[in-house]
Amino acid sequence: MEEEVKKEKKQPKRMAKGEVEKKKKIIIRTFFTIVTLMILGFVLLIANDFIILDKNKKTNLVINNKNITANLKNDVLIEDNMIYLSKADIANFFDKYIEKDEKTNQIITTYDKKIATIGFEENVITINGSEKNIYGHAIKKDEIEYLPISEMKDVYDIEIQNIEESKVVTMDSLDKEQKRAIVSSDLPVKSSMNFIAKTVDRVKKGESVIVISSDKGYARIRTEKGKLGYVKADKLENEYTVREAMEEEKQIEGKINLTWEYFSKYASAPDKNGTTIDGVNVVSPAFFYLDEKGNFKENIGSKGQAYIEWAHANGYKVWPMFSNAEAATKSLSITSEIVNSYEKRQELIEQLVNACVKYKLDGVNVDFENMKQEDKDMYSRFIIELTPRLKEIGMVTSVDVTAPDGSETWSMCFDRHVIGDVADYIIFMAYDQYGVSSNKPGTTAGYDWVKLSLNKFLQTEEIDAEKIILAVPFYTRVWTTDGEGKSSSKTVAMRNMDKVIPEGIEKQWDDDLKQHYVEYTENGNKKQIWIEDQDSLKAKISLINENKLAGVGSWQKGMETDNIWDLLKDELGL
């Protein structure tokens, strides 16, 4: 009996006929759903070429074949057939130094070879000092400042197209390469090179498209509607170049070897006829300065013009020094007043540019020192506004700065990062580590100090090495400390050192400073000299090659020993 019960338990439970039918229907329905989805997927795959999913809800901005709409801080405005970009977006994509001058209620913008100002009332723009009538002006909307960029194509050197049909605005830099090709058949333009990708546009046989790049059998293109996407590369034919990329040529190929020729306003340029300076390719005579009232002055005359002719005849570029030394000696406020006024900056720049054109110069070396720390940004504005004006006439802008650490008026008055970014060259005056105002004896330019300061230029200030010129001294200082411990110094040219050091005094080599050092007593006073010579300069010059700097500067011509020019030429490979 128990065995019969067990057998009954092992037998499967039979389903009712209705339940079986119901389960069959579920299985069949599931099967057909899967098949239907597979067929639909296949159909979508085939029909994908005909489905356009990418339709703009707001105006898209494409700059140099990149859709930067998602990165805009504010929407593109289109009013009265003019295209406006916010000041913040222009700063992001065209001019990071764009600024509103509150005194004149104008926006100042610079780009490559142009400086422009535009106001909020009159339909006028000033470009490189010349006024031009336009169809709009800057506007303010919801506390946001906008510029009519469609009226500023000459400033940013761009061509602009407003494609209303697709709600796309394109902007192309005229100095960048552009290629086009003809489409050989009707094609969908895909969002990516993936097998399944949405269609962003369609192009028809015979249409012209901009070719951006090619990779793995696909070409990235821009359509007539401004859409960016991919097509098979073999579907394009007759590719041609609309415009070539314009690369700016350097005025000097290879390392720069600049030397300053200093003479006061009471002297004239030196007579160089019949002489050459082996290895030098740039000379910087003291031609321009601000007088004690802040007026622009030149010290060229007939002898200066003869100097320029001599330099050019020997293949040297002429980048005259423009100094504020006389004004700064009188008062720090003189330079301050100029750099803090847009009108005064422009007046000074105009005078300088006119002088450069008049004398057919090749560049300018700006040597403003002894300035207020609080004027640091406004001095940078002067360089920002000067550089495009000089670049427009093919001239180089070089700017002298001191070491990053020091006094407020000697060191903290420079924004080295901005100057190094804007100017063609930034010249590190790597001397006067212990200068004329020091009350403690020390070296003029110790190797360790020069190297440490240079690293700050490169790393902390983030200045491109190829823009940095390392300036070295052709002089040293003889330090005298009296019995009361008071120290003073006098400058001695390298070429006169042997006349200064008494006979029998032994030189000691300091391997940290990479200099010879002497110490002796004279008339009861302690004498100390950290000597600049061929050995000390060779050590400092090595930093130029190690860090791939632009070159060397030397202060000043006439103080050197005869062997120095061969040293510089050999070390720099000139």
Q: Read out DSSP for 42-87? A: HHHHHHGGG-B----SS-EEEETTEE-GGG-SS--EEETTEEEEEH
Contact 489, 462 (CB under 8 A): no
Give the number of other Cβ atoms within 10 Å of residue 527's Cβ: 19
Angle at 83 between CA 210 and CA 123, to 5 degrees: 130
Beta bridge partners of 484: none
Task: Characterise 319 by phi-psi region: left (phi > 0), alpha (psi -120 to 50), beta (else).
Answer: beta
pLDDT confidence of residue 22: 66
> What residues does each domain of the chain span?
60-162, 177-243, 256-474+533-572
Q: What does DSSP say about strands 282-285 and 256-261: parallel, antiparallel, or unpaired?
A: parallel
pLDDT confidence of residue 248: 86
| Rounded Cα gap, residues 470 and 552, in angstroms | 5
Q: What does DSSP say about strands 282-285 and 139-141: parallel, antiparallel, or unpaired?
A: unpaired
Name the residue with tokens 């009954």: 8
pLDDT confidence of residue 17: 58
Angle at 458 between CA 538 and CA 88, to 5 degrees: 150
| Rounded Cα gap, residues 261 and 283, in angstroms | 7
Name the residue with tokens 């030098």: 280
pLDDT confidence of residue 47: 46
CA proximity to 496, closest of 445, 532, 540, 443? 532
| Rounded Cα gap, residues 273 and 280, in angstroms | 16
Q: In what order do the strands lie in the sheet with 168-173?
A: 66-67, 60-63, 168-173, 158-163
Look up residue 117 and give its two tokens: 């100002």
Beta bridge partners of 365: 321, 398
pLDDT confidence of residue 196: 86
Phi then psi for residue 562, to 5 deg, are -60, -25
- Output the average pLDDT for the chain: 93
Question: Is the fold of 60-162 the same as that of 256-474+533-572?
Answer: no
Q: In sequence order, which residues have a C-beta less than 8 Å from that of residue 332 and are 6 or more positions away?
A: 370, 371, 372, 409
pLDDT confidence of residue 216: 94
Assigned CATH class of 60-162:
alpha beta
Integer angstrom CA distances of residue 33 from 29, 40, 258: 6, 10, 81
Give the number of other Cβ atoms within 10 Å of residue 87's Cβ: 21
Pick the CATH number of 177-243 from 2.30.30.40, 3.30.565.10, 2.60.120.10, 2.30.110.10: 2.30.30.40
CA proximity to 299, closest of 347, 351, 263? 263
Angle at 127 between CA 71 and CA 345, to 5 degrees: 100
Name the residue with tokens 């002497």: 518
* Element at 135 (helix H, strand E): none
| Rounded Cα gap, residues 339 and 105, in angstroms | 17
Look up residue 3 and give its two tokens: 């065995």
- What does 196-245 look like in DSSP terms, one character per residue? S--EEEEE-TT-EEEEEEEETTEEEEE-TT--EEEEEGGGEEEEEEEE--
Name the residue with tokens 């790049």: 213
Task: Convert 538-572 to b/e letters by CB count within 10 Å (16 or more is b).
Answer: ebbbebbeebebbbbbbbbbebbbeebbebbbebb
3-class SS of residue 289: strand
Residues of the chain with pLDDT under 70: 1-28, 30-33, 35-54
Q: In sequence order, which residues have a C-beta less than 8 Å from that of residue 256 and are 6 or more positions away?
A: 281, 282, 425, 469, 550, 551, 552, 553
Integer angstrom CA distances of residue 107 from 133, 147, 392: 16, 9, 21
Distance of CA 444 to the CA centre of its chain: 31
| Rounded Cα gap, residues 63 and 50, in angstroms | 28
Distance of CA 396 to the CA centre of its chain: 14
pLDDT digits (tens, 9 = 90+) for 10-27: 444 555 556 666 666 666
Contact 286, 262 (CB under 8 A): yes
Is the CATH code 2.70.70.10 the one for domain 256-474+533-572? no
pLDDT confidence of residue 427: 98
Task: Characterise 313 by phi-psi region: left (phi > 0), alpha (psi -120 to 50), beta (else).
Answer: alpha
Phi then psi for residue 354, to 5 deg, are -60, -40
Contact 180, 211 (CB under 8 A): yes
pLDDT confidence of residue 6: 46
Distance of CA 383 to the CA centre of its chain: 12
